Amino acid sequence: DARVTQTPRDKVTEMGQEVTMRCQPILGHNTVFWYRQTMMQGLELLAYFRNRAPLDDSGMPKDRFSAEMPDATLATLKIQPSEPRDSAVYFCASGLVPDGVALSDEQFFGPGTRLTVL
């Protein structure tokens, strides 16, 4: 049963601390997305990768957020320093873009990391 996994599932930290969230995309998927969900804003795209290369991170506050794909099986989202307004659920999603197709179709979401910054 292929699925996206995310760790940790829950994280409580204090303002100013570094937070790292990890995602393992579905094996064989070549596109990885990071989204953030809050009650006020709903689901917002932060960044995404194709074949491990960053394609768009315009939704991400670049002074404190960074996203990387060290290898095809791991994507990370780091916040340093964290702030209370970063409290949200962070979702990773993956998809497969076949050769010759410009855009991905279905995105498979992980269970999310619930981040609370005190």
Q: Which residues in this chain contact another protein in the complex, by CB under 8 A?
A: 4, 31, 33, 42-45, 48, 50, 55-56, 59, 91, 93, 95, 97, 102-112
Position 11: which residue type?
A: K
Shortest Å, Cβ 96 to another protein: 11
Nearer to another protein, 8 or 16 (CB): 8
Distance of CA 55 to the CA centre of its chain: 13
Shortest Å, Cβ 38 to another protein: 10
* Nearest C-alpha neighbor of 96 from the set 35, 47, 51, 46: 51
Euclidean distance between the first and the last CA atom of the chain, given in angstroms as a whole number? 36
CA dihedral over 57, 59, 62, 66, signed as positive or negative: negative
Nearer to another protein, 15 or 43 (CB): 43
Shortest Å, Cβ 18 to another protein: 24
Q: Which residues pair with 18 in a beta bridge?
A: none
Nearer to another protein, 34 or 82 (CB): 34
Nearer to another protein, 81 or 97 (CB): 97
